[in-house]
Structure 1
Amino acid sequence: MAEHRRKTLSRRVRLRRTIACTVAGLLVIGGGAAGYAYWKLNGNIKSVDINAQLGTARPPASTNGSFNVLVLGSDSRNGKNGDLAGGETDGTARSDTAMVVHVNQAHTRADVVSIPRDTLVARPACSAVGTGKAVPAAKSVMFNTAYEVGGPACAVKTTEQLTGLRMDHYVEIDFAGFADLVNSIGGVTVTTTVAIDDKDSGLHLAAGTHQLNGDQALAFVRTRHGVGDGSDLGRIELQKQMVKSILTQIKGMGLTSNPAKLWSVADKLTKSVTTDSELASVSALAGLADTLKPIGPENLDMVTLPVVTAPSDPNRVIPAEPRAAELWQALAADRAVPESVLSSQPANPAEATPSAKAGSTRSGAAGATHR
């Protein structure tokens, strides 16, 4: 009897040890996988040390908890971008999409201001990308040339000079990255009340609601000639619609309960972006995402910088004063976008009647190398 109990006890001990070893092994394997995933995603992220390049001669950072992020869409033709972009491949890149994102003190709302690429601005002195050669300051040049001549740091510096706001962070995405990101979330849904037929961007949509894949979504945010009055202002309105569509899609995916999908999206996202050095880690990006979690499409005000036709060039625009100054002052004080700005926004050509023309200013209709 005692022998039977000893044998039973021995089997139980061995069983417990086997279970313990198995659990320990799974934890080691799981921890290793998590460690590898973290290492892999961190390695995907490209970064630029904006603070080191710009020094201290900048607008002061906010002290009330609000912050600003400059988001740029680069039209680089390098690598996969050339196949998606079309047009000339001249070795340059411009920031054809530029958005200043202001997150309020409570982190419950965000205001997004699109800056038309053809806005004539005073560009400060910068350093050329790669060579570090001094690029002198210039007056009355297109906003998107700042990125072209001096890269992200010059784009941030020019934006800060234009707005008077400190850009606390910087995020850039290129053509291929945007298309891959949209594919990773299963595409996006857009609605247009007019047919869009643009041979330059390759977008051909009948009026109605459409589910777009990555390449189609890229064409949607790039289309200009096939909708409205053909201006860059109309294209910006399509980009605003796309941002809200992406946010809506992500919000409904339940990523936290689907590890495989979360990995896929995280992998594509980290491969797609270039950030300032303070955001260049998975933990930093996850922290930013957690901060922005309460902000959905319904908590987002998206406007275009008020502009008027430039006296010097009918294909360029300049900030419309005093509305432009009122907008930047409101964001600096963490106040809502002024009604004077909201009431004067261009129409979204995709939401117009078939005979309507969106906006009153033709921006970038001529003289631009890249579409």
Structure 2
Amino acid sequence: MPDDQQPRTGSSPTGAGRTRRHRRGLLIAAWSAAGVVLLGGAGAGYAYHRLNANIDSVDIDGALGGHRPAKLGNGSMDILVLGSDSRSGANREYGHDSGTARSDTAMVVHLAKGHKRATVVSIPRDTLVTRPACATADGRTAPAQRQTMFNSAYEVGGPVCAVKTAEQLTGLRMDHYVEVDFTGFKDLVNTLGGVPVTTTRAIHDTKSHLTLAAGTHTLDGEQALGLVRTRHAVGDGSDLGRIQLQQAFMKALMDRIGGLGLTTNPAKLFAVADTATRAVTTDTGLGSVDKLMGLAQSVRHLDSTNTQMVTLPVRYDPSNPNRVEPLPRQTAMVWAALRADRPVPAAAVTGSAGGRGDAGGVLQAEPEPKPSASHGG
């Protein structure tokens, strides 16, 4: 939907137990950034303390208490990956700062038992949901609200409310939370040396400030950010087409990370780790170098070939084409598959508005060279 049709009301985000004001913004692959952090270990002393000091965290478990879905206990893990559309601070160049923030991108990342396979479910930001009652930044309680957009939860109550809303929507316990901002995303792509892609046709979007000819490119951070914010120049111009483009870029980003040979290049590894830890905000369960390293080691075998990406099954709201509604039966199939630690079946997304169009086909990843000891990235 057009940005100027987004309502901008509500309280500023809140987050109990934050070490300092969290960074906000777009997140396409923050979990991949976490997978880069310390991929093979960090040095001691100065490097360790610097990376640790970079990390912002939110005590989501403490804020939500025991009134949550039970942990699955089958060896799988679910992570809410979130970004926001705040235009404040270093992100002001990407639009008008209204003083509030909404989640611009949301994904539930399901890591299967053993973490050698993953399913990523994109939740369109305009999905109409029932938001539960949430604490606000000024100490009030915002009452529950029906038929409100998913991205409004972050505006009302920050990461804690976003997790609470996601858990109510999915029936799944979000084991962790990861967020990154516009600037952090750009810096990560630049530190990786860009991301090689091929565009099957030209893209020109004045809203995202992106112009690309058809052909092969190595996108720098600014171009990558423009690409994942693009929607007016792809598909039907809706957020659903943009999600397809984001998913295609996420696969290219994963392959880029895997192809750099970071474990054989300590200087590059530290540069990427430093950028990634400054870019992300996590829950306190991931809020240290050691904890991020544990996650990174557990997902080191993941790449685009063993990662399934789907969009929540939705239809356009008959009364407002700028909103979408979950398809109840098919949505239940998606969450049941994750609960059973199985891939999402094709029947779950058949007929969904999120699968229409060819926006995802606009972008193709370029094959990465095999890493070697001399590859500096």
TM-score by length of 1: 0.83
1:34 alignment partner, SS class: coil
Q: Is the 8 A contact 1:66 1:105 kept in 2?
A: yes
Deviation at 1:78?
Answer: 2.2
1:70 aligns with 2:80: yes
The Cα of 1:346 is off from its aligned counterpart by 3.2
How far does residue 34 in structure 1 lie from its aligned partner after superposition?
Answer: 2.5
Give the C-alpha shift of residue 225 in structure 1: 0.9
- Could you say what secondary structure the match of 2:328 adopts? coil
Question: What is aligned with 1:279?
Answer: 286
CA contact (8 A) 1:194 1:350 kept: no
SS at match of 1:178: helix
Give the drift of 1:126.
0.3
Aligned CA RMSD, in angstroms, stands at 1.6
- SS of 2:79's equivalent in the other structure is strand
What SS is found at the alignment partner of 1:230? coil
Aligned to 1:7: none
| Paired residues of 1:193 and 1:350 also in contact (CA < 8 A) | no
Pick the aligned partner of 2:339 from 332, 337, 340.
Answer: 332
What's the offset of the Cα at 1:312?
2.9
188, 191, 194: which is aligned to 2:198?
191
**Which consecutive unaligned segments of at least 5 residues does structure 2 have?**
1-42, 364-377
Render the CA deviation track for 1:143-171: whole Å, top value 9, x for unaligned: 00000110000000000000001000000
2:175 aligned with 1:175, yes or no? no
Matches for 1:209-248 after TM superposition, within 5 Å: 209-248=216-255
1:47-99 alpha-carbon deviations (Å, 9 max, x no partner): 0000011111000012111010000122222221112x1x2111111111000
* Residue 120 of structure 1 pairs with residue 128 of structure 2: yes
2:98 to 76, 80, 90: 90
**What are the Cα deviations for residues 117-145 of structure 1, in whole angstroms up to 9, with x where unaligned?**
0000000000113x221111000001000
Identity of aligned residues (%): 59
Q: Which amino acid aligns with 2:251?
A: K
Structure-2 residue corresponding to 1:34: 44
Tell me, in whole angstroms, the C-alpha distance in 1 between the residues paired with 2:156 and 2:230: 25
Deviation string 1:285-338 (CA, Å, 9 cap, x unpaired) is: 111010011111101000000100113312100001311111111111111101
Instruction: Check whether the contact 2:312–2:349 (CA below 8 A) recurs between aligned residues.
Output: no
2-structure distance, mates of 1:342, 1:295: 23
CA offsets 1:227-254 (integer angstroms, 9 cap, x no match): 2210100000111011111111110111
Residue 210 of structure 1, CA deviation: 1.4
Report if the CA contact (8 A) 1:169-1:276 is conserved.
Answer: yes
* Counterpart position of 1:153: 160
Q: How does the TM-score come out when normalised to structure 2?
A: 0.82
Between stretches 189-198 and 209-218, larger displacement belongs to 189-198
Q: What is the distance in 2 between the residues matched to 1:240 and 1:168? A: 22
Paired amino acid for 2:258: K
Q: What do the CA deviations read for 1:17-36 (whole angstroms, capped 9, x no partner)?
A: xxxxxxxxxxxxxxxx7311
Aligned equivalents of 2:166, 2:112: Cα separation in 1 = 19
- Give the Cα separation in 1 of the matches to 2:356 and 2:192: 29
Give yes or no for contact 2:317–2:324 (8 Å, CA) kept in 1.
Answer: yes
Q: Any idea what SS the aligned residue of 2:302 has?
A: coil
Contact 2:247 2:360 in 1 (8 A): no
The reply on whether 1:44 has 2:59 as its aligned counterpart is no
Q: Distance in 2 between matches of 1:117 and 1:150?
A: 16
- Secondary structure, in 3 states, of the residue corresponding to 2:80? strand
Tell me the distance in 2 between the aligned counterparts of 1:302 and 1:352.
Answer: 16
Q: Is the 8 A contact 1:66 1:107 kept in 2?
A: yes
Equivalent residue in structure 2 for 1:104, among 98, 101, 112: 112
Partner SS for 2:45:
helix
In 1, are the aligned partners of 2:115 and 2:299 still within 8 Å (CA)?
yes
- Partner SS, residue 322 of structure 1: helix
C-alpha displacement at 1:45, in angstroms? Answer: 0.4
**CA-CA distance at 1:107 after TM superposition:** 1.5
**Higher relative contact order, chain-length normalized (CA < 8 Å, sep 6+):** 2
Q: C-alpha separation between the residues in 2 aligned to 1:311 and 1:325?
A: 21
Structure 1 residue 263, shift from structure 2 partner: 0.8
- Distance, in Å, in 2 between the alignment partners of 1:330 and 1:102 is 10
Q: Call closer, same or farther: CA 1:221–1:105 in 2, change over 3 Å.
A: same
Q: Contact 1:109 / 1:295 at 8 angstroms: preserved in 2?
A: yes
Runs of 5+ unmatched residues, structure 1: 1-32, 354-371
Tell me which residue corresponds to 2:17: none
2:264 aligned residue: 257
Shift of 1:44: 0.5
1: CA distance, partners of 2:263 / 2:350: 39
